[in-house]
Structure 1
Amino acid sequence: MPVQPSQKRSGPVGDVAGDTDPAGLRADARRNRGRILDAAREVFSARGVDAPMSAAAHRAGVGVATLYRRFPTRAELVAAAFTEQLALCAKAFDEALADPDPGHGLYALLEKVCATQVTDRGFASVFLDRFPDALDHEHERDCAEEGMALLVRRARESGQLREDFDLADVTLLLVANSGLAGQPRAAALAASRRLLAYLFQAFQVRPYGSLPPPAVMELRGNYRP
């Protein structure tokens, strides 16, 4: 998960080498840039970051040449499109680390990650799948893994998580949660919250709280033998 505590970031999230400073652009160029980024977020969210860049240009109402002039590579477009979301996720990570209740901090972070994973395919690819070259990949990945490991260790040491809970179980949770991405938004969010509650109770030494209500979901059309 390429998000890390803000005190460890080496620069603003989403700096893009191939794009000029928007403040220095002409008004029409700024408008084109804004339309391209709005369109890219919509396309990547619906179809993932592997969607053709021409689809973003078409949705933005600009030529492909215009898009490539602003963002010569897919990685630069992805990074610019999700700058704000990455900053919000970095803040969520900081809040989790600052929470005096380690178990609550971990749960709150996972809840936000799981909700994003099932509602925004494009950002989920950036946040969870480590889209290559879009960000300071190795640095952010290392910081994220260190931060998550610290959260897990604190929760174990406080007696909230099972002694045999492993950091790899977070990946297991996210893999399971990713299967809900094809559901309608409301059902996906409800099911994601319930799945997380189920699994987090299994992670705990002394489970507490009740499960969220079940989600109304259709098996037909989603099951693939």
Structure 2
Amino acid sequence: MAKVREVTTQVVAKLRSDARDNRARILAVARLAFAAEGLDVPIREIARRAEVGVATVYRHFHTKEALLSEAFAEQMASCSAIVEEGVSATDPWDGFCLVIEKLMEMHALDRGFARAFTSELPQAADFAADRDRTLRLLLELVRRAKEAGLLRQDFVLDDISLALMANEGIRAESPETRVAASRRFAALMIQSFQANPVPTTLPPAVRLLLSRGQ
């Protein structure tokens, strides 16, 4: 009996280890796929790339929304930290500019998270709650910048979503070039959001790909 229990314990431990490995691999594949191709990558394709069955994916993540939320949990935390940093700035305009610059740089590197953050797709409760809290903080920062007379009065939060969507379209040969292009675009957006725009020197321009095929 002792031998049977030992073998049973080893089998259970192996199954648990395999399950953890499968879960980690599914998440890693999902992050890469969503970041490179957006949110429309089907679960079946995620399963194929992770070398597991579709049923295995759903055993770990009951819905695609749950997979999306966990895949982007780290990015959501980073996004929240950026907005919190902006809100804590003494000057609301400085805080607003910091948020725009950092969010656009972050989203330039991760198409999937950009879409998850700005989309109206259903999300798991934790992700949705974190996003809603972050948006409330962002609205508070916008209010302060307007009251200080620094942000144009007709600015709305959807203008940030619009900028992020445009930022997502940046095509470049490397992540570093995408970030450089995003910084220049962020500077242009910040000037357009300013109540009384003051022309400033833009970050250096970089060569971009005009289409996927170039």
Cα distance, 1:165–1:73 mapped onto 2, change above 3 Å: closer
Aligned to 1:67: 57
Pairing 1:38-57 to 2, within 5 Å after superposition: 38-57=28-47
Is 1:214 matched with 2:205?
yes
Is 1:106 matched with 2:79?
no
Greater relative contact order (CA < 8 Å, ≥ 6 in sequence): 1
What SS does the corresponding residue of 2:122 show, helix, strand or coil? coil
5+ unaligned residues in a row in structure 2: which ranges?
1-14
Aligned to 2:137: 147
5+ unaligned residues in a row in structure 1: which ranges?
1-24
Question: Could you list the per-position Cα deviations for residues 81-128 of structure 1 after superposition, in whole angstroms to 9, with x for gaps in the alignment?
Answer: 111111111111211111112112111111222123322121112112
Matched AA of 1:183: A
Q: Is the 8 A contact 1:43 1:55 kept in 2?
A: no
Aligned to 1:14: none
Cα distance, 1:81–1:174 mapped onto 2, change above 3 Å: closer
Q: How much has 1:141 moved relative to structure 2? A: 5.6
Q: Is the 8 A contact 2:43 2:64 kept in 1?
A: yes
Q: Is the 8 A contact 2:73 2:127 kept in 1?
A: no
Cα distance between partner residues in 2 of 1:42 and 1:30: 19
Q: How much has 1:70 moved relative to structure 2? A: 1.1
Cα distance, 1:172–1:86 mapped onto 2, change above 3 Å: closer
Aligned to 1:8: none
Q: Which has the higher helix share?
A: 2
Matched AA of 1:200: I
Matched AA of 2:31: R
Is 1:187 matched with 2:148?
no
What SS does the corresponding residue of 2:70 show, helix, strand or coil? helix
Q: Is the 8 A contact 1:40 1:56 kept in 2?
A: yes
Q: How much has 1:214 moved relative to structure 2? A: 0.5
Cα distance between partner residues in 2 of 1:154 and 1:93: 14
Aligned to 1:124: 114
What SS does the corresponding residue of 1:72 show, helix, strand or coil? coil
Aligned residue-pair number: 198
Is 1:176 matched with 2:181?
no
Cα distance, 1:70–1:221 mapped onto 2, change above 3 Å: closer
Cα distance, 1:85–1:139 mapped onto 2, change above 3 Å: closer
Q: How much has 1:42 moved relative to structure 2? A: 0.9
Q: CA RMSD in A?
A: 2.6
What SS does the corresponding residue of 2:150 show, helix, strand or coil? coil
Cα distance between partner residues in 2 of 1:60 and 1:207: 50
Cα distance between partner residues in 2 of 1:37 and 1:195: 31
Cα distance between partner residues in 2 of 1:158 and 1:32: 52
Cα distance between partner residues in 1 of 2:140 and 2:40: 32
Q: How much has 1:220 moved relative to structure 2? A: 5.3
Q: Is the 8 A contact 2:107 2:168 kept in 1?
A: yes
Q: Is the 8 A contact 2:47 2:53 kept in 1?
A: yes
What SS does the corresponding residue of 1:26 show, helix, strand or coil? helix
Cα distance, 1:165–1:85 mapped onto 2, change above 3 Å: closer
Aligned to 1:27: 17
Matched AA of 1:178: E
